[in-house]
Structure 1
Amino acid sequence: MLSLSQRGVTLIELVIGITVLAVALTLITAVLSPLFVRSTDPWHQVRASELGHSLMNEILARSFDEQSDRSGGLLRCDEVTLGAEPCTAEANFGPDGETRLWFNDVDDFDGFGASGSDILTNILALELDDVYRNYRAEVSVRYAGTELGLPQRSVKRIEVVITTPANSAIAFSAYKGNW
């Protein structure tokens, strides 16, 4: 006769125990898996912020317009009294035949788009595809003087939208004035 301390587990009890454990682990994993995906969001947001800030600095370092004086700002486009050339029409925004490295005014960036695995480079034309793989950058430039209570063509609004690998879009905007 077997005593209670020598009693073992039957095969049926073992199979039921394994099944209950498997169901419990499946439920726990299903609840936690969305958290694993979201855990990278802050990291991607910081990377997108770095990229957006860098690209915005590059754009703002350029002159206001193709017709602006680049040697010290003595002549600004649309200054009729000084005989300056008119500012570029918004319909003509975009590159004037230059590549990104040679963009010389803010509106050359209008319509610019790049991705980390495509043509995203820094200002020195060094590729950043390893650092910003699957990120996308898109730039738009528009006249926006009336938004600030000024003549329409005296201010340009630059908008940079960075899309992270998780398809989260982060927008940056700035104004460049003709003064």
Structure 2
Amino acid sequence: MLGNTSAARQRNIPARGFSLIELIIGIVVLAIAMLFISAILGPLFVRSIEPWHQVRAAELGNSLMNEILARSFDENSSRGSTLLRCGDAGAQACVATIPNCPASGMSATTEEASRDLYDDVDDFHCLNVNGSAVTTNLNPSLQASYNQYQVQVAVSHAGTSAGLAATQVKRIDVAVTLPNSEVITFTSYKGNW
């Protein structure tokens, strides 16, 4: 008789679990919650990469600016053992004009055919390359990391803003365009001293 009472009790206990309707409602509620969470976090993921791109642009702009500033001030600057600057008595005059960049877009307008031959600041004027071309000279292993960046260089006379002769100071602007089309500009001045 004991065996029959336990079997009778088991028949009266309702089955435990979820019905199909409860499962569908649970899935719908979970889907709506995930939609709200992804709508809130999605823009944060996009904005979290912006500082990373800005740091890369700073590295790229700084490395190119250092390369430019390491060159001579002018095409007529002394590169030998003399201490004469262009424009000094007994030395050639500094280049008086820097050509305008073409209206169709910037492109190198220098007398040198390759960046390896750039020997003065003016040679970089109107340079327009993608980031991989800049890093090729510095570190070939970085080429793929910067290929979505665009770099433009403009050089102009800025001596009058410093109270000097116009040709005694040059302003160098390096504009780095990020993959999201944001432009970050780096500016430096190089004097004829």
- Corresponding residue for residue 17 of structure 1: 26
Larger Rg: 2
Question: Match of 2:118?
Answer: 103
Q: CA deviation at 1:114?
A: 1.3
Deviation of 1:116 after TM superposition, in Å, equals 3.3
Give CA-to-partner distance per residue, 1:89-148, whole Å, 9 cap, x none.
Answer: 12278411331110011011011111135x334446847422313111111100011222
The verdict on how the C-alpha distance between 1:73 and 1:176 changes in structure 2, with shifts beyond 3 A counting, is: farther
The aligned length equals 176
Structure 2 counterpart of 1:141? 155
Say what the alpha-carbon RMSD is for the aligned residues. 2.5
Within 5 A, what are the aligned runs for 1:11-50? Answer: 11-50=20-59
Retained in 2: the 8 A contact 1:157–1:174?
A: yes
- Structure with the higher helix share, 1 or 2: 2
Q: Could you tell me how far apart the structure 2 residues matched to 1:96 and 1:82 are?
A: 25
Report percent identity of matched pairs.
Answer: 49
Residue type matched to 2:86 in 1?
C
> For 1:119-130, what aligned pairs fall within 5 Å after superposition?
119-123=133-137, 126=140, 128-130=142-144
Distance 1:121 1:148 in 2: 33
Q: Partners of 2:112 and 2:169 in 1: how far apart?
A: 23
What is the TM-score normalised by the length of structure 1? 0.85
C-alpha contact 1:116 1:132 (8 A) present in aligned 2: yes
Closer, same or farther: CA 83–161 of 1 in aligned 2, 3 Å: closer
Change (3 A) 1:70 1:90: same
Query: Bigger shift: 69-78 or 163-172?
Result: 69-78
Gaps of 5+ in 2: 1-10, 102-108
From 142, 161, 167, the equivalent of 2:181 is 167
Give distance in 1, aligned partners of 2:167 and 2:140.
34
On the 8 A contact 2:151/2:176 being kept in 1, the answer is yes
